[in-house]
Chain A
Amino acid sequence: MTSLIDFFNALGKYDFLQSALITAVMVGIMSGIIGSFIILRGMSLMGDAISHAVLPGVAVAYMLGINILVGASLFGVLAALLIGFVASRSKIKTDTSIGVVFSAFYALGFILISMAESSTNLHHILFGNILAVSDSDIMTTAVVLGIVILFVVIFYKELLVTSFDETYAKTYGLNVQVIHYALMLVLTLVTVSALQTVGIILVVAMLITPAATAFLWTDKLGVMLILSAIMGVVSSITGLYFSYTFNWASGPAIVIVAALLFAFSFIFSPKQNFFRLKRSVTR
């Protein structure tokens, strides 16, 4: 218990820890919300791909001294377009197309980062460095959070119908492609924001695990979005606490907490009904 009190004392004392907490909370909310749509659309692999495909954009942004959101968004959307292009213009299936495109982007990113080594730290991009969040990082994250919330509020019914029943949406003339690519763009923004807290490798966990946990507790999309955001926030705060107290890397600490919440829900959620399922299997 003393460590918990230590943590709160430190929070009051150190600006860097406050910044880390604020960022972690914001990233928890936005990745929980966008992640819900990613898993409901069966796009977990796409989420992973986009989060990796932004790496060259991050490198180019560092090299040119521009905002990394701009560089990353460019490459994130480019990857999404290219994945769609390869899958629709050939007999190659989408998951294969994702595999080819994102690994190529990731590889390009590594090469570019190593060329720009003097000004960046690859380790921080890959695993996150939440304790080095600057004021401008917080601002950027806040702006992205605003965009995410506005996007989901304004296009809630379009996101709902294209996620549940895309064919039906097409029959009344909705441009489902525009919704898809808008979601991909917002996904890249979330990915870049989450880079700082959990790093590129674990971004996908923040997108998918809290959303999957929320999915196990509710049958309403609106509730799922809120619950998923809460799961993201709880994982972020608790993970940060473990990171500070036990000197663990922040990204893995946050992701482990998210995974534990999922494991708990998997066993105990009434919707999942693990015990009854188990019984019927063993019978």
Chain B
Amino acid sequence: MLSVKNLTVAYDDTPVFSDVAVNFNAGKITGIIGPNGAGKSTLIKAILNLIKTRQGHVDYDGQPIKSVQKQIAYVEQRKDLDLTFPIDVFDLVLIGTYGKLGLFKSPGKNEKQASHAALAQVSLTDFTKRQVGNLSGGQLQRVFVARAIVQQAEIIILDEPFVGIDLQSETAIMKILKQWRDENKTIIVIHHDLNKVTKYFDDLVILNHGIVDFGPAKEVYNSKNIESAFSADLSSVLFSDKEGM
């Protein structure tokens, strides 16, 4: 279990959130939802040790998260990358093996085989030699998921993986997430589309500068929580058909 305890993060003197405590369970796909600026990305950056925290800590099965850093795979937002970079699909997936290789070792036969297998898993074998800028949004996202596959991590964190991608890619990625769940991995997904929340996630964290609620998605995803995290208007639109009857 990944536990976040009393976590406070602030940029300069403005706190993004304070005293956040939440658990992410192994063998579950956990969604994180919340309005823009609620601190979703900040929370996962703190888990990934990418930003300084004011107080609190993050544990994985009782160990500090820093000591299991190589067990975390991160699928970041595609817009943060230079897609003109001279790298093809295969080499990008191969990067996923770098962490466990450590310094001075180059990827060998095993790493290359793993990368080919991961590309086959996301149905991109035909695109192995394609430069990364010449892919559709959905294909590129599947490449990043393939990179996470070769990492063989125990914790996988995805930052808005379904933004701007086709339905086929979304389904393919969801299938991989479910495989990871069956392998008892901890999967954390920042998500923007409230409609699919209960369909995609086992557990749900609702965030708005602090935890609004967390727990099983079917229980936590209710009009009261959505109203307090987002707005009464949104809540009434989303839940009118269920509760109005």
Contacts and interface: CB of A to CB of B under 8 A. Distances in A.
Contacts of B74: 167-168, 171
B106 interface: yes
Contacts of A219: 86-88, 131
A155, A156, A219, A224 — most chain B CB neighbours (10 Å): A219
A173 interface: yes
A170 interface: yes
B118 to A, nearest CB: 16
B72 interface: yes
A164 B104 CA distance: 19
Contacts of B107: 157
Given A40-B86, A157-B98, A165-B81, A171 B72 contact: yes
A220 B82 contact: no
Given A165-B81, A173-B70, A215 B86 contact: yes
Nearest to A172: B99
Interface in B62-97: 69-70, 72, 74, 76, 80-82, 85-88, 91-92, 95
Contact of B87 (A174, A215, A221): A221
Interface of A: 40, 42, 154-158, 160-161, 163-165, 167-174, 215, 218-221, 223-224
Contacts of A170: 48-50
A154 B86 contact: no
B86 A165 contact: no
Given A157-B106, A172-B70, A172-B99, A220 B50 contact: no
Given A154-B104, A157-B95, 14 more contacts: A156-B106, A165-B76, A165-B81, A165-B95, A167-B76, A168-B76, A169-B98, A171-B74, A172-B98, A218-B86, A219-B88, A220-B86, A220-B87, A224-B86
A173 B103 CA distance: 11
Chain B interface size, as a band, is 20 to 34
Nearest to B129: A219
Q: Which 9 A-B pairs have the closest CB atoms?
A: A172-B99, A219-B131, A171-B74, A173-B69, A164-B85, A221-B86, A224-B86, A171-B48, A219-B86
A180 to B, nearest CB: 15
17 contacts: A155-B103, A157-B106, A158-B103, A160-B91, A163-B85, A164-B85, A164-B87, A165-B76, A165-B81, A170-B48, A172-B72, A173-B70, A174-B99, A220-B87, A220-B88, A221-B86, A224-B86
Contact of A164 (B82, B101, B103): B82
A221 B91 CA distance: 10
Nearest to A224: B86
Contacts of B91: 160, 220-221
Given A158-B103, A164-B82, A171 B95 contact: no
What is the interface of chain A mostly: helix, strand, loop, or mixed?
A: helix
Contacts of B101: 157
A174 B74 CA distance: 14
Contacts of A163: 85
A104 B50 CA distance: 33
Interface in B94-122: 95, 98-99, 101, 103-104, 106-107
B69 A172 contact: yes
B50, B70, B95, B104 — most chain A CB neighbours (10 Å): B95
A24 B112 CA distance: 38
B90 to A, nearest CB: 10
Nearest to A218: B86
Given A168-B74, A173-B70, A40 B80 contact: no
A40, A154, A155, A165 — most chain B CB neighbours (10 Å): A165
A156 B103 CA distance: 10
Contacts of B48: 170-171
Nearest to B103: A158
Given A167-B80, A168-B95, A171-B69, A40 B85 contact: yes
A32 B232 CA distance: 60
Nearest to A157: B98
A172 B68 CA distance: 9
B29 to A, nearest CB: 20
Contact of A173 (B76, B80, B87, B99): B99
Nearest to A214: B86
B79 to A, nearest CB: 12
Contacts of A220: 86-88, 91
A173 B95 CA distance: 14
Nearest to B131: A219
Contacts of B95: 157, 160-161, 164-165, 168
Contacts of B104: 154
A164 B144 CA distance: 13
A165 B80 CA distance: 9
A278 B85 CA distance: 23
A164 B98 contact: no
